[in-house]
């Protein structure tokens, strides 16, 4: 009797000890996470937390004010690095509310009601560490300006942007990604002058705008270029000579026909993924040797022959798989007028092809 009672008690005690040590560990973790800032700053930060927001004690550089139905930005505490304001009804990007938030790294304003008039003078450029701006799904009519030189990612999709202020990107040497998808940009807005300064841009998304021609002035560092869903009819000969790093190129849902696409315009050695679905092409363009994925579905192509599309003379491709073998692995040709089977010389040419949709 006595023995079993003792053992029951000792089990309970050991369970409580485990629980306590677990709690202690959690507190320690909390303290460790909070320790990337001096204690006084930590206290100031937590005390200045706006009542509308949540400031986690174990992650004191973050302020969460998302999904609160806010109509304006509350006063943001001074040591904030990560600010979440998405899914509100904010109309004004207020310089006053953000006056002390000069340390911001990350600003999420997606799905609000901010207009270009609502972006107050100098509010973004005073944040000299700001690397990420998310302003998707707002009511902007122009790219906000001026922007801080620290900026790396600028997301502005699904606004009403029709203007890029002259020189807005000058000095933005760290800008890597520019997302302007689903706006109202026309040819005259996207020019060498308006894009000047994008010296390290890697990805630009101009899909779903109102472009009638290929944009001018894209920087030679561009690797990913997305232009789907515009009204582009032709590509000037040699267009990609100015883009020697382009690897992912999307031109789906445009108005390209074969008379507007010089046969060897895509002969760029950097290109890996080329998407030309839902256009009006009647011929397969020249396929460069290094291309791995090609989407040509939903065009008006009637035939495909190895003699026309193989980047090397078919007879020189021998049985061995070496450097000279074209890299194409995936080919979509469905939604055209091509009758199967795929000609033998196409198969012989692209011997790394894993999947072909016809
Ligand atoms: C900025 O910080 C100062 C000093 O701590 C404080 O008095 C002021 O209310 C703060 N302003 C805003 C807008 O947060
Ligand atoms: C493609 O480019 C390569 C290298 O720049 C060149 O040797 C070749 O002749 C070009 N082919 C066509 C069809 O333009």
201-230: per-residue pLDDT in tens? 999 999 999 999 999 999 999 999 999 999
Count, residues in the chain: 358
Question: Can you tell me the distance from the alpha carbon of 131 to that of 108, in angstroms, rounded to the nearest whole number?
Answer: 11
Query: Cis (ω within 30 of 0) for the bond into 211?
Result: no
Rounded Cα distance, 275 and 136, in Å? 25
Residue 7 reports pLDDT greater than 70: no
Q: Tell me the sheet residues that pair with 64.
A: 54, 84
Quick one: pLDDT at residue 237?
Answer: 95
To test the ligand 1 pocket, which listed residue (41, 65, 78) has its Cβ within 8 A of the most ligand atoms? 78
- Alpha carbons within 13 angstroms on the beta-carbon side of residue 86 total 12
Expressed in angstroms and rounded, the spacing between residue 132 Cα and the centre of ligand 1 is: 24
Is the pLDDT reported for residue 3 higher than 70?
Answer: no
pLDDT in tens, 160-202: 999 999 999 999 999 999 999 999 999 999 999 999 999 999 9
Ligand 2: nearest atom to the Cα of 288: 1
The rounded Å distance from CA 31 to ligand 1 centre is 26
pLDDT at residue 278 in the model = 98
- How deeply is 17 buried, as exposed, middle or buried, from its count of CB atoms within 10 A (0-12, 13-18, 19+)? exposed
The CATH code belonging to domain 44-132 is 3.80.10.10
Give dist(CA 104, CA 63) in Å, integer: 11
CB neighbourhood size of 287 (10 A): 23
- Does ligand 1 lie within 6 Å of residue 100's CB atom? yes
Ligand 1 pocket, 199 CB below 6 A? no
Q: Find the mean pLDDT for residues 24-35.
A: 43
Cβ partners under 8 Å of residue 120, min gap 6:
92, 93, 94, 95, 96
Q: Where are the domains of the chain?
A: 44-132
What is d(CA 337, CA 217) in angstroms, rounded to the nearest whole number? 37
Please state, in angstroms and as integers, the Cα–Cα distance from residue 256 to each residue in 214, 222, 249, 277, 280, following that order.
Answer: 11, 22, 14, 10, 6
- The CA 50 to ligand 2 mean position distance, Å, reads 62
Please tell me the distance between residue 286's alpha carbon and the centre of ligand 2 in angstroms.
9
Q: Per-residue pLDDT tens for 284-314?
A: 999 999 999 999 999 999 998 877 788 887 6
User: Per residue in 225-270, pLDDT tens?
Assistant: 999 999 999 999 999 999 999 999 999 999 999 999 998 999 999 9
Query: Which whole-number Å values give the CA distances from 161 to 137, 140, 208, in the listed order?
Result: 11, 6, 12
Q: What pLDDT digit, counting tens, does each position of 312-357 carry?
A: 876 655 566 667 789 999 999 999 999 888 888 888 889 899 999 9
C-alpha 207/C-alpha 72 separation (Å) is 31
238 lines ligand 2 (CB under 6 A): no
Average pLDDT over residues 130-135: 98
Q: Can you tell me which residue has the tokens 């193989």?
A: 310
For residue 134, the model assigns a pLDDT of 98
What would the two tokens of residue 50 be?
């706006």
- Report the chain's mean pLDDT, rounded to a whole number: 89
């Amino acid at each position: 009797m006595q023995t079993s009672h003792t053992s029951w008690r000792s089990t309970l005690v050991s369970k409580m000890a485990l629980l306590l040590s677990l709690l202690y560990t959690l507190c320690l973790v909390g303290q460790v996470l909070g320790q990337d800032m001096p204690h006084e700053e930590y206290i100031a930060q937590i005390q200045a937390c706006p009542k509308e927001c949540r400031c986690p004690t174990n992650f004191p550089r973050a302020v969460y004010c998302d999904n609160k139905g806010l109509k304006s930005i509350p006063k943001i505490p001074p040591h904030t690095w990560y600010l979440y304001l998405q899914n509100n009804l904010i109309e004004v990007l207020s310089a006053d509310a953000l006056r002390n938030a000069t340390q911001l790294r990350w600003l999420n304003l997606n799905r609000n009601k901010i207009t270009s008039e609502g972006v107050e003078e100098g509010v973004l450029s005073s944040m000299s560490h700001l690397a990420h701006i998310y302003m998707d799904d707002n009511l902007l009519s122009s790219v906000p300006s001026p922007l801080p030189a620290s900026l790396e990612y600028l997301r502005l999709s699904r606004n009403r942007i029709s203007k890029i202020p002259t020189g807005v990107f000058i000095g933005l040497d760290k800008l890597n990604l520019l997302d302007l998808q689903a706006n109202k940009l026309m040819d005259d807005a996207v020019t060498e002058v308006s894009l000047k300064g994008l010296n390290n841009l890697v990805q630009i998304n101009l899909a779903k705008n109102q472009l009638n021609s290929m944009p001018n002035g894209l920087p030679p560092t561009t690797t990913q270029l997305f232009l789907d869903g515009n009204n582009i009819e032709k590509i000037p000969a040699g267009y990609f000579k100015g883009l020697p790093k382009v690897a992912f190129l999307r031109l789906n849902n445009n108005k390209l026909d074969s008379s507007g696409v010089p046969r060897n315009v895509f002969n760029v050695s950097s290109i890996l993924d080329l998407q030309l679905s839902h256009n009006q092409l009647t011929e397969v363009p020249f396929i460069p040797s290094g291309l791995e994925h090609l989407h040509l579905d939903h065009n008006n192509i009637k035939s495909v022959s190895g003699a026309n599309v193989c980047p090397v003379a078919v007879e020189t491709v021998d049985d061995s798989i070496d450097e000279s073998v074209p890299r194409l692995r995936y080919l979509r040709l469905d939604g055209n007028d091509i009758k199967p089977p795929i000609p033998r010389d196409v198969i012989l040419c692209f011997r790394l092809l894993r999947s072909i949709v016809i």
